[in-house]
Structure 1
């Protein structure tokens, strides 16, 4: 696996006014980067929850610019990713943990496209049949 699927928290970080330098470096150092339609949904959901104002406008503009640069690298949920999401949720449940639907779908998209998930929430994906890394590590 050489490519990375960016979790929502990675995109949220890089559109901040002062993003984590390690996360910024991760994006600069890795060319094969993708985002999912699930991340776009979660970003839009977060924006809709914010009160209208300068902060919401600035974030909306940053997210729009970021997503526009990934227009050709946005991955949807497909049959294979949905199947993997179900497998991962069962694995988590059998180990006494809960993997929420959005996390499972993002992970399923990563697996179906042979990508490593780049996320801040490594613990959500511990001991599951997938590859995940944190751009925040060694920042």
Structure 2
């Protein structure tokens, strides 16, 4: 199971999709690719902040398509994820490396579901017992 972080999802929108990310995704069966409700919320928030116009409309249409394509493969913030979030967020804060709440929630969802997180921001997730892959760098 590969869980796509927000920065990977955003590469699938707009007129100029990232060929690198599309090629990387082609290496996986679509059934193994997942989103989180947290990433969906981040994407929607960013889109709604854009000024009204053609660009916003295009990006929203692209995101709606992506969300539809991932129907049944969007992982939520379950009680198991909530407990993992509390544990890992507290551990990171005690270690002097606090995480943004949304990142800790995404990490917890991945851990609760046994997923590998695909993200550009691997440093944000270091020190967790979480499998990471960086599709922006990895072959």
TM-score range, shorter chain: over 0.9
Instruction: Say which SS state the counterpart of residue 91 (structure 1) adopts.
Output: helix
Indicate if the aligned counterparts of 1:36 and 1:75 stay in contact, CA closer than 8 A. yes
Which consecutive unaligned segments of at least 5 residues does structure 2 have?
A: none
Matched residue, 2:73:
73
Greater than 3 Å deviation, 4+ residue runs: none
CA distance in 1, matches of 2:109, 2:58: 29
Indicate if the aligned counterparts of 2:14 and 2:58 stay in contact, CA closer than 8 A. no
CA distance in 2, matches of 1:17, 1:94: 43
Out of 58-67 and 25-34, give the one that drifted further.
25-34
Instruction: Say which SS state the counterpart of residue 72 (structure 2) adopts.
Output: helix
1:1-139 → structure 2 map (5 Å cutoff):
3-31=1-29, 32-138=32-138
Q: Which digits, 9 at most, give the CA deviation of each residue in 1:83-105, with x for residues without a partner?
A: 11122212221221120111111
Offset, 1:17 = 2.3
Which consecutive unaligned segments of at least 5 residues does structure 1 have?
A: none
Offset, 1:25 = 1.5
Out of 9-18 and 43-52, give the one that drifted further.
9-18
Q: Which digits, 9 at most, give the CA deviation of each residue in 1:9-36, with x for residues without a partner?
A: 1111111322332211121111210001
Indicate if the aligned counterparts of 1:15 and 1:63 stay in contact, CA closer than 8 A. yes
Instruction: Give the length in aligned residue pairs.
Output: 137
CA distance in 2, matches of 1:34, 1:66: 11
CA distance in 2, matches of 1:88, 1:128: 7
CA distance in 2, matches of 1:59, 1:27: 20
